[in-house]
Chains A and B, each alone.
Chain A
Amino acid sequence: MTGARMADETTMSAADRRAHNNGLIRAAIYAAVGLLAVFVGLFRVPADQLTAYKVVFEESVIQLPDLSLPVGGTYMVAGVVGLIVAGLQFTSPSSVSWRRLMSVVLFVLAFAVLTGILGGKTPSLVGLMSATVSFALPIVFAGLAAILAERSGVMNIGIEGIILLGAAATSIGGSLLGNPLAGIAIGVISGLLLGLLLAVLAIRYHVDQVIAGTVLNLAAAGITTFMYTRILQVKPDLNQPGLVGATPIPFLSEIPMIGPALFNGSFYLYAGYILIVIMQLAIYRTRWGLRLRAVGENPKAAATIGIDVLRIRYRALAMSGAVAGFAGSYLVVVSTGSFQIGMSAGIGFIGIAAMIFGGWNPVGVAGAALVFGFARSAESRLGTVGVDVPTVFLSILPYVVTIIVVAGLVGRVRGPSSVGQPYEQS
């Protein structure tokens, strides 16, 4: 049934009507932005301006010429895509796949604007993509950690702190044991323990979940900085866990444009793929997943049919913490090679944003993380090619998108119903 037909029915509920209206508003916004992009492409850009993207690295086996895109044309294509999406959205305003459509519009527009800003330069598209994936990866892990907690009905604001402590534990553990892999294990285990701590505070001691998470963030920032100054600065050899190198997949990693980004990474990248698939299947296709969702939606009903609500929540938070600790270890053994003060840099919060934008769904989180990762890598690229534009709009994009989505200003997402409420087992 299309939304247009639904609108005629008098039985439509208030929520449906709101979703319908939101869809129409979205369609109007896309159409307006699309028209604007076409207009800019036609009249505001010098006709002969080109942006030449490098699509392969210099050391790649397959060499391809630069991809020269006319700036005006790119704007026009983006505008047309925007108009098409607007049309799709208009024909079915209440469509549940609105997030996908919104991502498409955001992405093509961001790309067009980027092409326009870089007009006359030769930026590396393949580098941009690689950077996108490596920025997105920790966001994916943080987002998956957030999903695990929230699906069980516990809000995990403390992911940021677990990432930070996981990073510190990875660095110290890896240095002590002389092996980055051992360090990763330590990081994951410490994340797991912190997840359990959060669970004990929230479930056993009824600390408000928001406060428990905030405490974890503050304590993590305090204790890691304290340890860094007191121990790691005095004994720098405790902060050298070593790096985990890249393991390219033969042939696939040589595909121009996407190969280096998607198939030439550390094992974290492949672990990320596997984790996304496993979690998607586990949450929607297994008994455990059904129970998890039941506990998150309506713990009382779940308990009535014999599900141990608290045990599910403890386990989910332990797993959530472990995944967050894994994200922290990534920052150390892939990105920098050592622990730095405040190195989580808001990834935990962007992970929560990705969870919401991705609709509490692992594949959705991956998509959201790519959009946010793209914004971040575009931001850092713009600095390196010497373009002087305020990149603040890119850096606040994840946060603004999240506010818009949470507020349901342009679409509707709904998380598990029981998030935030303690459950008293009788």
Chain B
Amino acid sequence: MRRLPIGPATILWTIVAIAFAVQFALEGAYIALGVEILVGLVVLVLSTRPQGRTFLGRLKLPVLAIISAFIVGGVVLIFSDLEFYAAFPGDPLGTLAASLGRVGSAYGALIVGALGDPGKIVAALGSGNANKIGIAFRPISETLLATTPLILAGLAVAVAFRSGIFNIGAEGQLKIGAVFAVWVGIWVPLPGPLHILAALAAGVIGGAAWGFIPGILKAKTGAHEVITTIMLNAIAQQIMLTLLLSPILQPEGGTTPISRTVMDSAQLPVLLDLPKIRVHFGLIIALLAAVWTSWLMFRTTKGFEFRAAGLNPRAAGYAGMRAGRTIVLAMIVSGGLAGLAGASEVLGTTHYLSPTISPGYGWDAIALALLGGTRPSGVVIAALLFGALRAGGPSMALATGVPIDLLAFISALVIMFVAAPRLVREIYRVRLSATAPSTPQVVETPL
């Protein structure tokens, strides 16, 4: 059989995209329309690009993975609607159109919730009213706020992946880092900036210690890091809950698992002193961490050893690199970055510790590391996208009543598609370069 130049999914996606565009235009949701046209153009360009090591060639797989995840999410949204089943037999086409419309408004609300309304922004800037400006920029601020821990956790997983280690324990390392940071923030009286630095350092140390355990166990005994980090995640959760209910962190007379508030001197300042704006200096720290990680991985001998161990640990061993030390160091760096994410959350965003400190940042981090091709720059871009999802979710839920957990499902699908280049290739009939983000070439030690 002759192969079609474009796959059935691409045709379907084009039809749906046109339908959405018409609907957005009718509703006057011009940002959603703009974003959609942009995405459409990107896909169009990508599908005509030859494979290779070019920037666009590298974008191909992540973009197609994200689009596929949203399409599946839309299908779930339609078929989980009970009214759909009631109305479908009477008016199949009309019901389907209405359902597609609802999916469109949900995704549209998501985009507006993440980026804000340009009209309002312009109006607010014109009025010069600080309150109005704050409200108009709040969506962007919330996106950047959610991006902050995602960048750090994503970097943590990316460093480990590059070094051939499956660190799926970022969630636990983040929590231990948050516990350490909040403890210093509450109990160690230090003057201003010094206090912040001490609390951040405590977070890094906590996370690094939690990363050190699987690292040293893998290096010394060959214990599989996937199993140890899964177990350490559960242990971290229990330790955090116990401490939250003990006088170590809980305020006097407290009954709920919520810690005392950290001292003012330990709080990360807000970037812009406007009402409703919450994005804080943690974002700067996260971006600096990305630059530092990039320098470490691609400009230093240690980074070279990390990457060599990730590509082929045996070859690295023959070249005289000490595999055990590399593993431990990579896990310390990885855990430290995850711990910093936890510290930035408690010191900048919440100012206290609660069981919901991480709504799955450590798990999103896996998606980010894969989407970003385990490159720090890629992780930052992917974190912005996931941050937008996290920030836009509540608006979507509020405006259209679609439960926010749909986004958790979509994130999981993104990981699946991006980890399965063969699947994407089959669906879209596109050629994918072999340089697509691949999982590390770990020589698996038996459990």
Contacts and interface: CB of A to CB of B under 8 A. Distances in A.
A403 interface: yes
A314 interface: no
A211 B447 contact: no
A306 interface: no
B419 A390 contact: no
Given A211-B370, A212-B419, A214-B415, A399 B446 contact: no
B168 interface: yes
B405 A222 contact: yes
Given A210-B226, A230-B402, A403 B231 contact: yes
A90 B370 CA distance: 49
Dominant secondary structure of chain B at its interface with chain A? helix
Interface string A197-222: 00001001111101110111011011
Interface in A177-211: 201, 204-208, 210-211
B300 interface: no
Interface string A88-110: 00000000000000000000000
Nearest to B422: A205
Nearest to A211: B419
A218 B412 contact: yes
A396 B413 CA distance: 31
Q: In the complex, which range does the number of interface residues on chain B fall in?
A: 35 or more
Contacts of B220: 407
A395 interface: yes
A410 to B, nearest CB: 11
Contacts of A210: 166, 168, 226
B283 to A, nearest CB: 25
Contact of B231 (A155, A223, A225, A399): A399
Contacts of A205: 420, 422-423
B64 to A, nearest CB: 14
A215 B411 CA distance: 9
Contacts of A216: 412
B239 A392 contact: yes
Residue from B222, B360, B402, B446 with most neighbouring chain A CB atoms (10 Å): B446
A346 B232 CA distance: 13
A221 B166 CA distance: 21
Nearest to B440: A208
Interface string A213-241: 01110110111011101110011000000
Interface in B407-435: 407-413, 415-416, 419-420, 422-423
B242 A392 contact: yes
Given A205-B422, A221-B408, A229-B403, A406 B227 contact: yes
B409 A222 contact: yes
B361 interface: no
Given A214-B168, A407-B228, A222 B406 contact: yes
A421 B447 CA distance: 12
B76 A215 contact: no
Contacts of B230: 157, 349, 352
Contacts of B48: none
B265 interface: no
B312 interface: no
B309 to A, nearest CB: 17
A146 B118 CA distance: 52
Interface in A361-389: none
A214 B363 contact: yes
Contacts of B76: 223, 226
B410 to A, nearest CB: 8
A226 B75 CA distance: 13
Contact of A226 (B242, B405, B439, B447): B405
Interface string A392-403: 100110011011
Contact of A346 (B81, B234, B406, B411): B234
Contacts of B235: 396, 399-400
Given A211-B439, A218-B408, A226 B403 contact: yes
Contacts of A409: 221
B82 A231 contact: yes
A414 interface: yes
A419 B444 contact: yes
A173 interface: no
Interface string B371-395: 0000000000000000000000000
Contacts of B412: 215-216, 218-219, 222
Interface in A136-159: 150, 155, 157
A408 interface: yes
B422 A214 contact: no
B80 interface: yes
A212 B226 contact: no
Contacts of B226: 155, 157, 210
Interface string B243-258: 0001000000000000
Contacts of B81: 230
Given A214-B366, A219-B413, A419 B446 contact: yes
A87 interface: no
Contact of B411 (A218, A231, A396): A218
A171 to B, nearest CB: 15
A337 interface: no
A248 interface: no
A88 to B, nearest CB: 24
B238 interface: yes
B71 interface: no
A206 B436 CA distance: 14
Given A218-B415, A420-B444, A399 B409 contact: no
B389 to A, nearest CB: 12
Nearest to A234: B82
Contacts of A408: 221-223
A223 B238 contact: no
Contacts of A415: 446-447
A229 B82 contact: no
A322 interface: no
Nearest to B447: A415
A399 B416 contact: no
Contact of A414 (B168, B213, B416, B446): B446
A406 B232 contact: no
Contacts of B231: 349, 353, 399-400, 402-403
Contact of A406 (B360, B423, B447): B447
A222 B363 contact: no
Nearest to B221: A407
B238 A395 contact: yes
A127 interface: no
23 contacts: A201-B420, A205-B423, A206-B422, A207-B420, A215-B413, A216-B412, A218-B408, A218-B409, A219-B409, A219-B413, A221-B405, A225-B403, A226-B406, A227-B80, A230-B403, A392-B242, A399-B232, A400-B231, A406-B223, A407-B221, A408-B221, A409-B221, A415-B446
Interface of A: 150, 155, 157, 201, 204-208, 210-212, 214-216, 218-219, 221-223, 225-227, 229-231, 234-235, 346, 349, 352-353, 356, 390, 392, 395-396, 399-400, 402-403, 406-409, 413-417, 419-421
Given A205-B423, A211-B419, A415-B446, 9 more contacts: A211-B370, A211-B415, A214-B366, A215-B413, A216-B412, A218-B411, A234-B82, A235-B82, A407-B223
